[in-house]
């Protein structure tokens, strides 16, 4: 009986260990809206033909977006155009607050990380790029520039999703 209990607890410990290993991962870093439930929390890539309007956001080297917040309605598909009017590269990445924070930290470790994801724009000085996003949940969807140092200096904005 005792032996069985020991075996059972060993099996449990092994299961826990393997669960922990999975949760911790290998250190590989994935981008974008593929982070499980978070994908639906912030919405998802939209079809360009369904975009009901275009929102233009300017990034400058004072680490601010203009405007810093935009308002959309739930279910709306919006074309977001990011223009870099600064002298350095800027980005706009949509994500949950936790994702953006985690990702910004990863960027500090690996500044050369390339970004070409549906939820993310990376623009050179003078350049404009756009993405199309469908906002599906009422609340706030943060966006941020994940270029090293920019997030930490407050280069953060938000999309307010109204019912």
**How far apart are CB 24 and Cu ion at their closest, in Å?**
30
Contact residues for 58 (Cβ-Cβ < 8 A; gap 6+): 65, 66, 82, 83, 84, 85
**How far apart are CB 18 and Cu ion at their closest, in Å?**
39
Q: Give the residue with the Cβ less far from Cu ion, 76 or 99.
A: 99
DSSP 3-state of 44: strand
The residue within the footprint of Cu ion, chosen from 100, 121, 141, 155 (CB under 5 A), is 155
Q: What is the DSSP letter of 46?
A: -
| Distance, CA of 126 to CA of 61 (rounded, Å) | 12
Q: Does 147 bind Cu ion (CB under 5 A)?
A: yes
Q: Give the residue with the Cβ less far from Cu ion, 78 or 93.
A: 93
Asked if 141 and 158 touch (Cβ cutoff 8 Å), the reply is yes
One symbol per residue from 78 to 117: x for binding Cu ion (CB under 5 A), - otherwise; what is it?
------------x---------------------------
Asked if 78 and 51 touch (Cβ cutoff 8 Å), the reply is yes
Using CB under 5 A, list all residues that contact Cu ion.
90, 145, 147, 150, 155
């Amino acid at each position: 009986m005792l032996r069985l209990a020991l075996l059972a607890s060993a099996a449990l410990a092994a299961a826990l260990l393997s669960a922990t290993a999975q949760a911790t991962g290998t250190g590989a870093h994935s981008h974008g809206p593929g982070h499980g439930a978070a994908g639906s929390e912030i919405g998802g890539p939209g079809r360009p033909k369904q975009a009901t309007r275009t929102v233009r956001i300017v990034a400058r080297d004072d680490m601010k977006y203009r405007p810093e917040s935009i308002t959309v309605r739930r279910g709306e598909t919006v074309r977001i155009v990011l223009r870099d009017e600064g002298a350095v590269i800027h980005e706009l990445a949509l994500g949950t607050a936790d994702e953006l924070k985690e990702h910004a930290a990863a960027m500090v470790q690996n500044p050369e990380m390339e970004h070409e994801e549906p939820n993310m724009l990376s623009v050179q000085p003078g350049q404009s790029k756009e993405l199309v996003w469908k906002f599906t949940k009422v609340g706030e969807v943060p966006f941020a520039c994940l270029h090293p140092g920019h997030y930490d200096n407050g280069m953060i904005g938000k999309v307010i999703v109204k019912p």
